[in-house]
Amino acid sequence: MQTVVFMRPRACALAVASAFSLLAASTQPVWAQGATPATGRTQTLETITVTAQPEAQTATSPVTGYIAKRAATASKSDTPLIETPQSVTVVTRDEMIDQGAQNLQDALNYAAGVRSDAYGLDSRTDSYRIRGSEPSTYLDGLRQNYNWYTSTTRVEPYMLERIEVLRGPASMLYGQGSTAGVVNMVSKRPLAEAQNEVGISYGTHNRKQLQADFTGPLTEDGTWLYRLVAVGRKADTQVDHVPDDRMMVAPSLTWRPSARTSLTLQALWQDDKSGSTSQFFPWEGVAIDNPNGPLSVHRFIGEPDWDRYDSKRQSLGWLFEHEFNDNWAVRQNFRWAKNEVDYRSLYGDSFTLPGGWAGDPVNKRLFGRYADATLTKVNMLTADQHLAGKFDTGAVSHQMLLGFDLAYAREEKQSGFDAPVYLGGSVPLIDAYNPVYGNFTPPAMSDDPTSRQRDTGFYLQDQMKFGQNWIVVAGLRHDRSVSSVEGDRDQTSTAVSKRLGLMYAADNGWSPYLSYSESFTPVSGLNADNDRFVPMRGEQVEAGLKYESEDGDTLFNASVYSLRESNRLVPDPTNPNNSIQAGKTKNKGLELELKTVIGRQLDLMASYNYIDLDDALEGMPKHQASVWGKYRFAIGQTSGFSAGAGVRWLGSFSDGPAPETPSVTLVDAMLAYETDSWRYALNATNLFNKTYVSTCLGRGDCWWGAQRSIIATATYRF
C-alpha cells in the first residue's frame, strides 16, 4: 500500500530541499560520505534531523482538515479557542468541500447548537436558528444585512474560507442583535503562494456550475498579492418554475509594504435569478391529512411569468492593519454595499383559517393566495476600527481593544399587494392539486417612504491572563441606534452591554469556564401614550468545559446555558389596540461538540444539542444530534480515495397550536478521489430521499424540507 502525505506548500518546499540534500549526499564519493580520503577509514558523524513544520494557524488562514484552533469572532482578536470562554464552532473550508455545501444552510448542517434548516427549503435566504433565536449574520466582522428580503440574498459558500458561529448574546462586541449570537463568514483572501483551481459540477435539478479560484503573488518580493474567485451557475430547484441561477465574481488585492502593515482591498459582484420555493402551505396537506392527499413537494402555486426573486449585490471594502511595534496595532474593516431585490410572489393563505383552507373549507383543493411585490434598493456603509494593545501590569498580561464601529443603511422601496378574492381582493384561487396558471392581474406598485438606519457603538475589552492559567475577559459597550422613516420622527434607542468571562486553562489541555453576556434588540413603534418602545434586553449565563489534545488532533466542548429576554411586546390586557412591553422568555440548554482525527485515515466530528425552549418562542427540536466522518483509503496500489458519511437527527416538536413536526433522520454521503492535480467527488444530501416537514408554525403554515440532492464535481488544481 502506498502512503501519500499531504503538506502545505512551504512545508513541502522544506521537505523537498531536505530530500535533495540527502540524494546529493548519496551520490558523492565514499570519502565525502564520512571516509577520510588519506586513510580510507569510515568515520561516524552525528545524525542531523531536519523537521518541516507546517505554518501556524491564524484566525483567517486556510485550515487543513476540520479542526480550527483559533478564531476572531468571539473577541475581535486572533485568539485560541481553548482560551475563549464562550461557545464557538468553526466550519472550515475542507469541511464545506467534503460535505458538498451548496449554501450557508448546508455548511451549518453539522455545527453544534445550530438548527440549520429552520424554514426548510427556502431559495430566498439562508435561515438558521441558534439557542431558540435568529442570529445576526456578518461577513469579515461587518454586518451583512438589515431587514428581510433586502440584503439577505444567499451568500456563495465557494467564496468563504471559514464560517465562525458564536453562540449566545454578543452585543458587547457587535451592537444590536438577538440572544442567538453571531454567524461570521470569513472571505477567502490573497495567499503568498500560488494556488489555482477550476472546477465543474453537475447534479440534481439540472444543476450546472463552473467555479474558479486563483491566488498568489503579483510581485517577486510578495509585496502585492491577489485573489480572484468566480462562480457561474444555471439550475432548477425542488419546486417547479423556481430557478437558482447565479453569476458571482469576488476579486481581492493585498498590499504589504512592510512586515507591520497590510491592506487588503475586497470587491464583490453577484447577480442571482431565482424565485421563492416557499409556498406557505397549510397544515392540512402537509403535516395532517387532507382528503385529496398530501401536497407535492414540487408544487408551485404562483405565476411562472410573474413570480421571481432576482437580486444584485455589489460591494467594495478593505481590511487594514498596521503594527506600531510588537505590542500596539490599529485595525479597520470597511465595506460599502449596494443591494437590489426584485421580489414578486403569490404565496398561500394559511393564516385566515390557521392551518386550513379558508377559500375552500369543504373540498380543500382551491387555495387562496396573496400577491406581494417589492422592488428594494439598499445602500449600506459599515466600518469597525479599534486600537489593540498588549501590556503587563505586574503579574497580569493584558490584550486590550478600544474600538468604535458604525453602520448606516438607506432603503428605497416600491411595493404592491393584493389579497384573495374571499378577503375582498382580486387574486383568484388556484387548485393546489392541479394548478392552472395565467388567470392573474399583478397589483399596482407605489413608492414607500424611504427609511434609514444609523448605528454607532463604542467598546472596550480586556483579555487578561493571570500567571500561566487564569484568563479573564471583560468588556463594556455603549450603543446608539437611530431608525427613521420619511415623514415620521426618528426613533432612538440606546443601550449599555456588558460581558465577563472566567477560564482556567490547565496545562493538561482542559479549560473550564464561566461567562456572562448581554444583548439588545431595538423595538419599533409607539404605545397608546405615544411613547417609543425601549429595546428588548437579553442576558446569558454559560458554563462550559473545553479540551484540546497536546497534538492538536482533538477538540471537545461542553456547555450549559441559561438565557433570558425581557421587554417583549405583548397585547395590553386593558386595551386591545395597544401593546405593552411585559413579555419575558427563558430557555436553557446543553451542547456537546467533538472534533477529532484518528490515525491518519479518519476525521470525525459529532454534536448533541438539548434546549428547553420557552413557549413564547418559535418551536425548535428539544433534541438534536449529528455525526460526520471521513475515511481515507487506497485501492490496490492507488491511494487518494476517501469516503464520508453523516447522520443528522432532529427530534419532534410543536409550535403552539400547530401539529407536531415529526422527528427525522437524514443521511448524507461523499465519495472522492484525489491526485496532486485533480479531485473528483460525488456528494449526496438526504441520501435516501426522505420526504419530511422541516417545521409547522403556530400561525398556520408548514415548510417542506429539502429532498435528495446528488452533485458530481471535478476540480483541477495547478
* pLDDT higher than 80, residue 41: no
Q: Residue 359 has which C-alpha cell?
A: 377559500
Lowest mean pLDDT among 43-57, 395-409, 649-663, 694-708: 43-57
H or E, element range at 490: none
Spatial neighbors of 650 by CB under 8 A, at least 6 apart, are 115, 621, 623, 624, 663, 664
Q: Report, as an integer, the average pLDDT of 120-127.
A: 91
Kindly indicate the confidence band of residue 528, based on its pLDDT and cuts at 50, 70 and 90: confident
pLDDT band at 149 (very low <50, low <70, confident <90, very high): low
State the pLDDT confidence band at 3, using cuts at 50, 70 and 90. Answer: very low
- Does residue 42 register a pLDDT over 50? no
Q: How confident is the model at residue 266 (pLDDT cuts 50, 70, 90)?
A: very high
Cα–Cα distance for residue pair 5/63, rounded to 1 Å? 16
Residues 6+ apart with CB under 8 A from 526: 532, 533
Mean pLDDT of 299-314: 96
Please tell me the distance from the alpha carbon of residue 512 to that of residue 174, in angstroms, as a whole number. 25
pLDDT at position 509 is: 97
For the chain, what percent of residues have pLDDT higher than 70? Answer: 92
| Full 3-state SS string of 415-427 | EEEECEHHHCCCE
Nearest to 274 by CA among 248, 305, 236: 236
Instruction: Tell the residue number behind the cell numbers 487594514, with chain if given.
Output: 320
Amino acid at 220: E
Question: CB–CB of 15/52 below 8 Å?
Answer: yes
> Within a 13 Å sphere around the CA of 111, how many CA atoms are in the beta-carbon half?
30
- Per residue in 180-226, pLDDT tens? 999 999 999 999 999 999 999 999 999 999 999 999 999 999 999 99
**H/E element, 459:** strand 451-466
- Residue where the block lists cell 453602520: 407
> Residue 548, class by beta-carbon neighbours within 10 Å (0-12 exposed, 13-18 middle, 19+ buried)?
buried
Residue 572 is predicted with a pLDDT of: 83
For residues 574-595, average pLDDT = 91
Q: What is the pLDDT of residue 151?
A: 64
b/e burial code for range 461-477 (CB count within 10 A of at least 16 → b): bbbebeeeeebbbbbeb
Cβ(162)–Cβ(209) below 8 Å: no
In this structure, what is the dihedral angle of CA atoms 576, 579, 584, 587, given to the nearest 10 degrees? 80
Tens of pLDDT, residue by residue over 381-410, are 999 999 999 999 999 999 999 999 999 999
**Residue 22 above 80 pLDDT?**
no
